Chains A and B, each alone.
Chain A
């Protein structure tokens, strides 16, 4: 490793801490962003490098509180993979922040680096208890990013905080039970050596602990029916924060799910199936609801939900298939899940950044009113096109390759999982439709009225968009590098990844499937260029509107609300059912959420929320810290 791990962490801490401090002053608004960018770059490098560990303090006694007296940090293949995601997204959104930070509030600039830091810590701690603590901190800092003073943002932040905080309490409960009753130590290694055997013999404990863990993680992973906080939160958060949350933060529950489901708990078909069903519901309803949105960021937020569904569905399907003996398919599905995590991070952050660029230039998120921005913001437009095509799963971009892996791993198995694959295939076309809408309403067809746009956003905003766009192409066309990192990550959780790389194609053995993205890319680029030369138009004439003199060009445009109206009407049951599920989710939260409600009450303002969070955590630690009997 290029730096000793402890030194590396120290530097990161000081960088991000300094950034947070600088964020509190108004003068040099770009400095915290720059420091965050440097830190993110280091995280990325650490992720690529792969391994290392660091330990401070020593456990005194056996109480839970005592286990907090020491902290053990380290990187293994799995966390390294997620560090890559965090580093990439952190880097791009921090570069983006260089010119956007000056608009943000002080708390926002201070919380931003701390948010990155807490995510980093979540990934590198090797102790479940510290994991939960950093997790809570991450939630805390992220809600400052949401509550940025815009109209309605405080409510959105509150809902986000209460929901995820309440859910995290469930997780904390599970964790405490694990440590207190079962493993006796919060260290990952200790838990994974004890827990699987214990839980396979105690089904009830297994079910309860899994329920607690997965609720905590699932709400953060925006699983339906607990996704309702997402649209408001991402709409309120500024673009780069939304990119960071959607791209990186949402992947952290996936990280812990991998760890929990594959190393802490025994392989179990019902559990895998439950996760897969949750994922399928999420991808289905999340995306179907995204189709109806007419607000750029809400649309992206709902797609965030939908794409998380793909990731979780593949994870659940992998578990299920592994436990049913489909080793090849199961491990492939897990690979697909990880690969899609990476891909989703790239294209969704990219799309959030483009939506944010548009918002900064026009002050609009309303897709009904936007339009025609390609002419003014060509750089943003092209990167948005690439992002849209990538998330739509257009071959050979990255979204296609990971979705293809999901289909190939699920569809041919003669289990119920193949039905999930079919639904995912359908939803992929809905995603494509939705992004045709996003792209064309913002950048192509005419706006509803004159938009007062001064031009392209500054280079510091276009550069990260283009980095991510390039990644969308590269990860798809040349998937061998990410697949290697994924194999390494799966190795950590004890799954042997199948060898797929058969240059220039990706071939799944036994006739399951094969695709050659690199060849696709070369073929398409060459042929398209030839054809483009062929069709060079000779003149431009006014368009034909059946002889009408177009007096109000801006009126003859398809409003975003009208896109696919017939389709949505015919699939009306889905929307009715989806709304019912959402109500169910809210109802559950309201019923179970004594904790959440208490938090809500005491956190009527930001300070109260802050204090409440810390007090809650403190009480938990003190009360439970009495020691194991």
Chain B
């Protein structure tokens, strides 16, 4: 009847500080990459701080969780960034939020907390009350590194730049129309979602908070969270529920990619493409509305299953809409691919070499465009993906065009997946609410969001709460690669390069979109209100 698809997804290994670097190096050489890491205040339990490094080994279909601990009086562990630079941000985040120091970290500056935040106050420690108000002066938004001479120009990009649609700041160093370097500073609007969830919310409220991490791919976050808890608590999820989860995840992917195509066209100055892609996307929004009642932020996942079932009539309607959406998307994409000058704007631009991509640990279409064959749906099957048939497109161009083409192929794979799911939908219950929550059990849920691997780590807290929840959105892993992509490019290509990793853009007008991991607000989107209104 029910089954857990999550068995054997991860293995937690306690490592000693002396050997962690060696283990990480071996894992990396074996084809693994750094997925995410979190610091945990485990003092109430054992008087120690812990750091969990999650390392994704796609070839073996397993996440290796390396757990390091440090005593309360000397919260310090060796940094693994010198071995694997993908760990840089996660370690800086743990340093900011929990106060664990990483020895030999090359750049243990603040990442998330603002510059005016007092030293020695760590918001994710358990002794920091969630409702404490911090006195603060005006922070300095900016990049600290000074990298210009008289022949170089600093071009600010953000925090409120029409390209970004979200507060983050790039500083481009430009010389003779070429970008010679770029600095990045983000996390301007941190919402403290993790603290909120750990202190105030119950187990089944969190999926709705998780869904609001992102306004475009929210469903993937709630699914990842539910999977993490299901894994920790050993919940058996009904098969029909798993299929419906997959269905919504794929619908979300189609809408997200179509949205991105539109934005990419707009950034390349081709506004007609923008409009036509978004017109095709409307059918997908209609499908979502038909199935979940919401055009976006579906609110469908709960721990143990889903909240809404599908009738046969809805399936027929969905199939019809799907056909329309696929036909129109195909037409528009064919037109765009036929525009030589548009393709030329993407070809050979924003190159991310495979070696850099591996070291940084980029995920999703960005990784697949740099020749890295990875997809959580295939490597770590979850929901219904184990039963479904799909291809994982991989391109070796390493440029914006490859990222574009990966998304094109994925979109049509998703159309096929939705059809497969609807045709093979098993009967049965849609939720299993008979489970009990253990205390301090670790769980990891990961999904392939439209932007790449989305990882949620959970430590259960008993009493219908979580002790620690750490979501990590794909953009978190992809952003550090952007300065590399920008180097040596024309200034005019900066927008499409930054957009090529598809940082969270959204279409919702009520919700703050928050990039997970940090929980920073990315965008409040009044821009597209007009689009919505126009449709009615």
How many Å lie between the Cα of A207 and that of B273 in the bound state?
65
Which stretch (B173-181, B296-304, B318-326, B430-438) binds chain A? B173-181
With A548-B141, A549-B140 already in contact, the answer to whether A559 and B169 are too (CB < 8 A) is no
Of the candidates B141, B150, B157, the one whose C-beta lies within 8 Å of that of A549 is B141
Q: Can you name the residue of chain B whose Cβ is closest to the Cβ of A555?
A: B154
CB of B156 closer than 8 Å to a CB of A: yes
Q: Kindly state whether residue A561 has any CB partner on chain B within 8 Å.
A: yes
A556 within 8 A of B: yes
Cα-based distance from A546 to B178 in the complex (angstroms): 20
B155 in the interface (beta carbon within 8 A): yes
Chain A residue numbers with a CB within 8 Å of B177 are 562, 565-566, 569
Which residues of chain A are within 8 angstroms of B151 by Cβ–Cβ distance?
Answer: 368, 559, 561-562
- Complex Cα distance, B150 from A552, in Å, reads 12
B146 touches A556 (CB 8 A): no
| Segment 546-581 of A: residues with Cβ below 8 Å from B | 546-552, 555-559, 561-562, 565-566, 569
From B142, B175, B490, contact of A548 by CB (8 A): B142
Dominant SS among interface residues on chain B: loop
On whether the beta carbons of A547 and B176 are closer than 8 Å, the reply is: no
**Nearest CB in chain A to that of B175: its residue:** A562
Chain B nearest CB from A524 CB (Å) reads 33
Decide yes or no: A555 and B176 within 8 Å by CB, A546-B159, A547-B159, A549-B141 being known contacts.
Answer: no
| A278 at the binding interface (Cβ < 8 Å) | no
Answer whether A555 and B140 are a contact pair too, CB < 8 Å, given A546-B161, A548-B159, A562-B176.
Answer: no
Interface centre among A449, A548, A551, A556 (most CB of B within 10 A): A548
Residues of A within 8 A of B490 (CB): 566
B108 at the interface (CB under 8 A from A): no
- Whether B174 and A562, one on each chain, are in contact in the complex, defined by CB atoms closer than 8 angstroms, is yes
Flag B166-187 by CB within 8 Å of A: 1 or 0 each.
0101000011111000000000
Cβ-defined contact, B142 with A559, below 8 A: no
Asked if residues B154 and A556 are in contact (CB atoms below 8 Å), the reply is yes
Task: Write out the residue numbers on chain B whose beta carbons fall within 8 Å of the beta carbon of A562.
Answer: 151, 153, 174-177
User: What chain A residues lie within 8 Å of B174 (beta carbons)?
Assistant: 562
Residue total for B at the interface (Cβ-Cβ under 8 A) = 25
Shortest Cβ distance from residue B182 to the other chain A in the assembled complex, whole angstroms: 14
Question: Do the beta carbons of A549 and B161 come within 8 Å of each other?
Answer: no
Indicate if B148 sits at the interface (CB-CB under 8 A).
Answer: yes
Q: Find out whether the CB atom of B158 lies under 8 angstroms from the CB atom of A552.
A: no
Instruction: From A448, A556, A569, give the contact of B155 (CB < 8 A).
Output: A556
Question: What A residues does B178 contact at CB under 8 A?
Answer: 565
Chain B residues contacting A556 (CB-CB under 8 Å) are: 153-156
Interface string of A358-376 (1 = CB under 8 A from B): 0000000010110000000
- CA of A551 to CA of B490 in the docked complex: distance in angstroms? 25
Which residues on B sit within 8 Å (CB–CB) of A557? 153
Decide yes or no whether A201 CB sits under 8 A from chain B: no
Contact B155 A559, beta carbon cutoff 8 Å: no
Q: Is B512 an interface residue (CB 8 A)?
A: no
| CB-defined contacts of B416 to chain A, threshold 8 Å | none
Please measure, in the bound complex, the distance between the C-alpha atom of A448 and the C-alpha atom of B154, giving whole angstroms: 11
B154 near A552 with CB under 8 A, answer yes
Of A556, A558, A562, which is in contact with the most chain B CB atoms at under 10 Å from its CB?
A: A562
Bound form: Cα–Cα A548–B169 in Å: 8
User: Assuming A546-B157, A548-B158, is B148 touching A555 (CB within 8 A)?
Assistant: yes
Would A546 and B152 count as touching, CB distance under 8 A?
no
Complex interface bits, B467-497 against A, C-beta within 8 A gives 1, otherwise 0 = 0000000000000000000000010000000
The residues in A between 524 and 563 inclusive whose CB is less than 8 angstroms from any CB of B are 545-552, 555-559, 561-562
Tally of A-B Cβ pairs under 8 angstroms = 65
Given A561-B176, A565-B176, A566-B177; A547-B158 close (CB under 8 Å): yes
| Given contact pairs A562-B174, A562-B175, A369 touches B150 in the complex (Cβ within 8 A) | yes
SS of A interface (majority) = loop
Task: Please tell me if the beta carbons of A366 and B156 are within 8 angstroms of each other in the complex.
Answer: no
Task: Give the docked Cα–Cα distance between A556 and B152 (Å).
Answer: 9
Give the docked Cα–Cα distance between A608 and B490 (Å): 53
CA distance A368 to B160 in the complex (A): 29
Known: A546-B161, A565-B177. A559 touches B141 (CB 8 A): no
CA distance A481 to B60 in the complex (A): 91
Measured in the bound complex, the distance between the Cα atoms of B155 and A556 in whole Å is 6
Residues of A within 8 A of B155 (CB): 556
Contact B152 A559 (CB under 8 A): yes
- Kindly state the separation between the CA atoms of A366 and B150 in the bound complex, as whole angstroms: 10
Cα distance A331–B175 in the bound complex, in angstroms: 48
Those of B33-86 within 8 Å (CB) of chain A: none
With A546-B156, A562-B151 as contacts: A551 and B140 at CB distance below 8 Å = yes
B156 in complex: contacting residue of A545, A558, A561, A565, CB < 8 Å: A545
Interface string of B138-150 (1 = CB under 8 A from A): 0011100010101
Min C-beta distance of B278 to chain A, whole Å: 25
Residue numbers in A under 8 Å from B142 (CB-CB) = 548-549, 551
Q: Give the distance to chain B from A312, nearest Cβ to Cβ, in Å.
A: 32
Q: A558 touches which one: B140, B153, B157, B169 (CB < 8 A)?
A: B153
Distance in angstroms from B417 CB to nearest chain A CB is 39
Chain B residues, CB < 8 A from A549: 140-142
Contacts of B158 in A (CB 8 A): 546-548
Tell me the bound Cα distance from A21 to B333 in angstroms: 83
A551 — which chain B residues lie within 8 A by C-beta?
140, 142
Instruction: Give Cα A462 to B500, complex, Å.
Output: 54
Which of A556, A558, A559 has the most chain B CB atoms inside 10 A of its CB? A559
Residue of A nearest to B169 (CB): A548
Q: In the complex the two chains form, what is the Cα distance from A558 to B150 in whole Å?
A: 9
Tell me how far the C-beta of A260 lies from the nearest C-beta in chain B, rounded to whole angstroms.
44
Q: Which residues of B contact A548 (CB under 8 A)?
A: 141-142, 156, 158-159, 169
Residues in B neighbouring A558, C-beta threshold 8 A: 153
**B154 proximity list for chain A (CB < 8 A):** 552, 555-556
Which residue of chain A is the closest to B185 with respect to CB atoms? A548
The residue of chain A having its C-beta at the shortest distance from the C-beta of B141 within the complex is: A549
CB proximity of A416 to chain B, nearest CB, Å: 35
Residues of A with C-beta under 8 A to B146? 552, 555
Q: How far is the CA of A448 from the CA of B149 in the complex (A)?
A: 8
Q: Which residues from 395 to 453 on chain B have a C-beta closer than 8 Å to any C-beta of chain A? A: none
A residues within 8 A CB of B167? 547
Q: Which residue of the partner chain B has the closest CB to A548?
A: B156
Which of A546, A555, A559 lies in contact with B160, CB distance below 8 A?
A546
| Interchain nearest-CB distance for A356 vs B (Å) | 22
Whole-angstrom distance between the alpha carbons of A550 and B140 in the complex? 10
Please determine whether A368 and B150 come into contact, CB atoms closer than 8 angstroms.
yes
Nearest chain A residue, comparing its CB with the CB of B144: A551
Q: Could you tell me the distance between the alpha carbons of A556 and B176 in the complex, rounded to whole angstroms?
A: 14
**Quick one: CB contact mask for B113-139 with A, threshold 8 Å, 1 for yes?**
000000000000000000000000000
Docked Cα-Cα span, A551 to B171, in Å, equals 12
In the complex, what residue of chain A is closest to B140 when comparing beta carbons? A549
| Known A546-B161, A548-B142, A549-B142; contact A448-B156, beta-carbon cutoff 8 A | no
Residues of B within 8 A of A565 (CB): 176-178
Report chain A residues within 8 Å CB of B161: 546-547
Most buried by A among B140, B142, B156, B157: B156
Chain B residues, Cβ within 8 Å of A449? 150
Minimum CB–CB distance for A552 against chain B, Å: 7
**Chain A nearest CB: distance from B159 CB in Å?**
5
**Chain B residues packing against A (C-beta within 8 Å):** 140-142, 146, 148, 150-161, 167, 169, 174-178, 490
Instruction: Give 5 nearest A-B pairs by CB, closest first.
Output: A547-B160, A565-B176, A448-B150, A555-B154, A565-B177
List 19 contacting pairs A-B, 8 Å CB cutoff, sorted by A. A366-B150, A546-B156, A547-B141, A547-B158, A547-B167, A548-B156, A548-B169, A550-B156, A551-B140, A551-B142, A552-B148, A552-B154, A555-B146, A555-B153, A556-B155, A561-B151, A561-B176, A562-B177, A565-B176
Residue numbers of A with Cβ under 8 A of B are: 366, 368-369, 448-449, 545-552, 555-559, 561-562, 565-566, 569
A546-B161, A551-B140, A551-B142 given. 4 additional CB < 8 A pairs? A548-B159, A549-B140, A559-B151, A562-B153
